[in-house]
Amino acid sequence: MKPETQINRRREEFPTLASGIHLLSHSLGPVPRAARESIIAYYEAWEHHTSEDAWATSWWEMSTRVGDRIAGILGGAPGSVQTQPNASIALSSVASCFDFKAGKRNKIVTSSLDFPSMEYVWDAQRRVGARVEIVPSDDGITVPLERILDAIDHETCLVALSHVSFRSSYRVDAKAIVELAHKYGALVLLDVYQSAGAVELSASEWEVDFLIGGTIKWLCGGPACGYLYVRPDLQKDLTPRLTGWVAHAEPFAFASAPMRYDDSVRRFAQGTPSIPALYSVLPGLQIIEEVGVKTIQSESQSRTECMIDFALEQGWKVNSPRDVNQRGGSVMIYVEDGPAMVNRLAERKVFVDCRPGVGLRLSPHFFNTDEEVREAMEILAELK
C-alpha cells in the first residue's frame, strides 16, 4: 500500500474499534461514543417535559434537522429529505404515488442486483397493475449500462435501481440513467444505502427524482432511521397513498379526511416518527460531515484497490468490479463456506460477513488504518 493518508480517523470516538478490525460498514457501522449522550438527551427531554412541551421544544423539528443533515451528504438542498422508519417504507411511499392502472405508462425498470426488499415491494405492485422489468446480470457482478438504458421506453414510469449493489459493490452511472429516463418522461429512484457516506453523491446535479436509504451502515447512525430524498420541484406534484397525520398541512388541527398534504417534503411522512432513532443518528452524521465524503471516498478507493490487488495476487476470485469508477466501498471475495470463514475470522478479531454465492463482504471505512486492513487480508490468507 502507498503511504497512509494523514487524516483524523477519530478512532477514539468509536468504542467498538477496540474489539478488533471492523470491516462491516456495509452492514452495521460502529456506534459513535457520543450516541450515548444523544440518547440520554432524548430521555431527559421526555423526563422533564410534558408531551406538548417536548414536541414544541425539540421533537417536532427533529425530522427536519436530521433530514437536512442527510440532504447535505446526499448532495441535495435543505428541505429535500423526509426521514422514514426504514428504506422499505421510503420505497413504498414512492410506489404509492403512482396509479399503475391509469394508462400504458406503468412499467418499472429494476435490476437483478438490487436489494431483495426492493424486489419484494415492486413485486407487490404487480397486483395493482405495475409491469416490472428486471434487467439481468450475466456475471452476478455488473449490469451493463447499455442494457439498463435499453429497458427504458415510453411506457416506463419509474427506473428504480441500487446505486451500489449490496451483492457486488457495483455502482451504476446515475447521471446517464437520469438523463435518458427524463427524456422519456420517466422518473428515477436510486437506493443509496450502500453509497451514502462512502461515495460522493450529487442529487441536485444529477437531477435525480428520489433517493432512499438508511443510516445504519456507512453513516454510523444505527437502525430505525431511513430517509427519502424527493427532488424539490417534484414534491408538490405527488400525493402518496401511504400517508399519516404528520404529512398533513396542519397536523395539530387533527382534521377529518380528506387528506390535505403539506407543501413541503413532510408530505411524504406517515405517522409519529421514531424520536429516539433521530437522536441516535446525529453524532454519526456529524462525524461524516466533518471528515467529508470526498475524503472518505478517496480513502475507500485506495483501500479497496489494494485489497483487490492482494486478492488477485493470491489467486482468489473477486466478485466486485475491478474498475474503481464502477465500485462502491466494499470488496466481495469468494470463499467456499462463507459462514464458516466469517466465524474463523471473528475468532481472530476480524469482523466481516458473507452472502450466498458472493462470499465475504469486506468494507474499510475512514477510521480503518492501512496497517489493520493489511493485517486482515494476511489473516484471511492464512485461513483460506
Cα(36)–Cα(43) distance, integer angstroms? 11
Strands 350-351 and 359-362: unpaired
3-state secondary structure of 354: strand
pLDDT tens digits, residue range 163-198? 999 999 999 999 999 999 999 999 999 999 999 999
Output the pLDDT for position 4: 55
- pLDDT of 131 above 50: yes
* pLDDT of amino acid 223: 87
- Dihedral angle over CA of 188, 192, 194, 197, nearest 10: 150
The C-alpha cell 459513535 sits at: 32
> Measured between alpha carbons, how far is 247 from 261 in angstroms, rounded to an integer?
6
The C-alpha cell at 245 is 397525520
pLDDT, tens digit, for every residue of 259-287?
Answer: 999 999 999 999 999 999 999 999 999 99
Encode pLDDT of 315-374 as tens digits: 999 999 999 999 999 999 999 999 999 999 999 999 999 999 899 999 999 999 999 999
Contact 167, 332 (CB under 8 A): yes
Please tell me the predicted confidence (pLDDT) of residue 52: 67
Q: Exposure of 145 by Cβ count < 10 A (0-12 exposed, 13-18 middle, 19+ buried)?
A: middle
Give the closest residue to 352 by CA, choosing from 15, 25, 19.
25
Task: Please tell me which residue, 224 or 268, carries the higher pLDDT value.
Answer: 268
Q: Which long-range contacts (CB under 8 A, 24 or more apart) does 16-22 make?
A: 17/367, 19/349, 20/346, 20/349, 20/350, 20/351, 21/349, 21/350, 21/351, 21/368, 21/372, 21/373, 21/375, 21/376, 22/351, 22/365, 22/367, 22/368
Phi, psi of 54 (to 5 degrees): -60, -45
The answer to whether the Cα torsion of 312, 217, 89, 64 is positive or negative is negative
Going by pLDDT thresholds of 50, 70 and 90, the confidence category of residue 70 is very high
Predicted local distance difference test score (pLDDT) of residue 2 = 47
Per-residue pLDDT at 309: 97
131: β partners: 107
- More confident call, 246 vs 222: 246
- Could you give the CA distance from residue 70 to residue 66 in angstroms, rounded to a whole number? 6
| Residue 55: predicted pLDDT | 82
Radius of gyration of the chain (CA): 21
Cell matching residue 303: 483501500
For the chain, give me the number of helices (H) and strands (E)?
Answer: 12, 12
Q: What is the DSSP string of 185-253?
A: T-EEEEE-TTTBTTB---HHHHT-SEEEEESSSTT---SS-EEEEE-GGGGGG---SS--GGGBSSGGG
Answer yes or no: are the C-beta atoms of 229 and 210 closer than 8 Å.
yes
Q: Is the CB of residue 328 less than 8 Å from the CB of residue 164?
A: yes
Question: Residue 258: enclosing H or E segment and its boundaries?
Answer: none
**Tens digit of each residue's pLDDT (9 = 90 or more) over 195-220:** 999 999 999 999 999 999 999 999 99
Mean pLDDT of the chain: 95
Q: What is the pTM of this model?
A: 0.96
Mean pLDDT of 66-70: 97
